[in-house]
Amino acid sequence: MTPEKAKETRDHMLQNGYCVIEDVVTEDFLQEMRDETERLIANHEEPADLVYQGQHIGVKREDYSVIDKLLSWEPSYRALDELGFGDFKTGGSVIILTKEPHGPPLYWHQDWMQWNDPLTVSPWPQIIFLNYYLTDTTPENGCLKVIPGTHHRRIPLHDQLVPAHEQGARFIEEDHPIMFGDDPEQVYVPVKAGSLVLGDARVLHSADGNKTDDRRTLILAWHRRPTDTVPDYWDGEIPEVIANRPEDGEYEGSRIPGAYLKP
């Protein structure tokens, strides 16, 4: 990646809460991952409460060599490094998420679980997902949908949502008008298989249902960076609550945005 492209991509991530890096995974390795995930899915029963996330299979790198290979895939970590995100580290596992053929949409949500922590206002990403889609994605098969900028900015939807996942959204009806609605600011993020999609845990995202006959499989890998350092690329202001944040401070976990998220 040229330094110009790297800066443009990083700026996009900081401003919008997501970015795409193309051509990261080779076709051979993609096929290895398709074969392994199909085997795992064949041996897995989809729990009813996870229907909106599809198959939801947690896999540790030590149990599957293909996953270990992905979590040390040099082109990905080189790209992260070039973006200035070289201090993000994997937790050592991934989640295999699918949209089954004609499977339902995924509700609007964000995945930040520390809304009471001053780290919430971090102008740089702290926790990100690395999304590897094993097929090309389009609005028809449930590509990622994002509301850009909502990692930093409260919008009306924030206050109308049922909190994500185990906190409530897994148990809603499929015709919930808000959770599965369209937003005037939403963008679709269709990608080619082999691209890497980065997303800030704080950004609002969802996916439409899969209207095709083919499964859309995603391998999602959470990564986080240290909480007590400022990234080297950051030359903007450091919010006071972050500069003064005690490392041993205790903040009750919360999936619901509080006072730190302002309009």
Ligand X SMILES: O=C(O)CCC(=O)C(=O)O
Interface residues toward ligand X, by CB under 6 A: 53, 97, 106, 111, 144, 205, 207, 218
Contacted entry of Fe ion, ligand X, none for residue 106, CB cut-off 5 to 8 Å set by kind: ligand X
Q: How far apart are CA 5 and CA 3, in angstroms?
A: 5
Q: How far apart are CA 41 and CA 243, in angstroms?
A: 45
Stretch that binds Fe ion, among 65-73, 108-116, 232-240, 245-253 (CB under 5 A): 108-116
240, 123 Cβ separation under 8 angstroms = no
- Of the pair 51, 230, the CB lying nearest ligand X is at 51
- Please give the size of the binding site for Fe ion, defined by CB under 5 A: 1
Q: Using the rule CB under 5 A, is 100 a contact of Fe ion?
A: no
Q: Where are the alpha helices (DSSP H) in 103-239?
A: none
- Ranked by CB distance to ligand X, the top (closest) residue is 207
- Of the pair 164, 242, the CB lying nearest Fe ion is at 164
Q: Using the rule CB under 5 A, is 111 a contact of Fe ion?
A: yes
What's the Cα-to-Cα distance from 258 to each of 69, 89, 120, 161, 242, rounded to whole Å? 38, 27, 10, 13, 16
Q: Give min distance, CB of 99 to ligand X, in A.
A: 6
Q: Give min distance, CB of 246 to ligand X, in A.
A: 30
Q: Give min distance, CB of 223 to ligand X, in A.
A: 14
Q: Give min distance, CB of 73 to ligand X, in A.
A: 20
Q: How far apart are CA 50 and CA 231, in angstroms?
A: 36
- Of the pair 88, 132, the CB lying nearest ligand X is at 132
- Of the pair 188, 238, the CB lying nearest Fe ion is at 188
DSSP secondary-structure letter at 189?
Answer: E
Angle value at C-alpha 144, between 10 and 102, nearest 5 degrees: 165
Q: Using the rule CB under 5 A, is 200 a contact of Fe ion?
A: no
110, 150 Cβ separation under 8 angstroms = yes
